[in-house]
Amino acid sequence: MNEVQPLLNSILDEANQEAEEIREAGRLKARNLQEEFKARAEQRRSELLADAEKKAKEEKSRLKIQAQLEMKRELLEEKAKIIDGLFQTVRDRLTQMEVGAYQRMMLRLIIEALRADAQEAGDNPAQLILSPRDRERLGRKFLEQVTQELKKEGITLRGGLTLGEADPALSGGFFLRQGKIIQNYSLDNLVNAKREELLPEIGRRLFS
């Protein structure tokens, strides 16, 4: 047994030394892995921060563009409301004109319409259609006034001119029926036609 003990001690010493070397290698490997993971984590953190910053800038830019588009849309809506209100005021003032002034305007419009269509109408009678309100306020003699004005202007309608049934759809102005053709001289139609012509000028004067 005495001869075995030194050998056993030697083996144990070698084993301890080997174990210590293994432990040291493990500690070194662990430190290396820790440093590697730490470096990778820092790199990933930097990448995530950069990506977040990039996305934040993109989101800020997107929100800015969206806000600008929204502002332009709201501005266009407000402009449209202003223009609609302007032309509604025009319609209201036309329909609320003093009777004498409104009658003169209607006479002028009717004569212009009949002058333009007298040659094409042929023998078809021309029928003047007014709103119920205009039939009442212009009076029963309005057709006679139109006829007299036609004579003054030298306009002859071979089919003659009659007054048709009042049309509740009219707020002002008139329809002119000749045969199967009905021409729209309503105030709404006249104002809308003028609207397209005046929009550029209105835009310059109101919104420049």
109 plus 195 within the same structural domain: yes
The whole domain housing 161 covers 99-207
Looking only at the bridges linking them, the beta strands covering 181-186 and 173-178 are antiparallel
- CA 141-146-152 angle, to 5 degrees, is 125
Structural Rg of the chain based on CA atoms: 47
Single out the residue of 119, 114, 116 nearest to residue 174, CA to CA.
Answer: 114
Mean of the per-residue pLDDT values of the chain? 81
Q: Which two structure tokens, joined as six digits, stand for 73?
A: 């849309």
73 plus 11 within the same structural domain: yes
Residue 143 has pLDDT above 70, yes or no: yes
In the chain, the number of structural domains is: 2
pLDDT confidence of residue 72: 84
49 plus 106 within the same structural domain: no
- Judging by beta carbons within 10 Å of its beta carbon (0-12, 13-18, 19+), is residue 172 exposed, middle or buried? buried
Taking only the tens place, the pLDDT of each residue in 5-50 is 565 566 556 666 766 776 777 778 768 777 887 888 788 888 878 8
CATH number of residue 133's parent domain: 3.30.2320.30
Q: Which two structure tokens, joined as six digits, stand for 207?
A: 């919104």
112 plus 176 within the same structural domain: yes
CB 143 within 8 A of CB 104: no
Q: Give the global pTM.
A: 0.59
The mean pLDDT value for 88-105 works out to 86
Tell me which of 51, 66, 96 is where a domain ends: 96
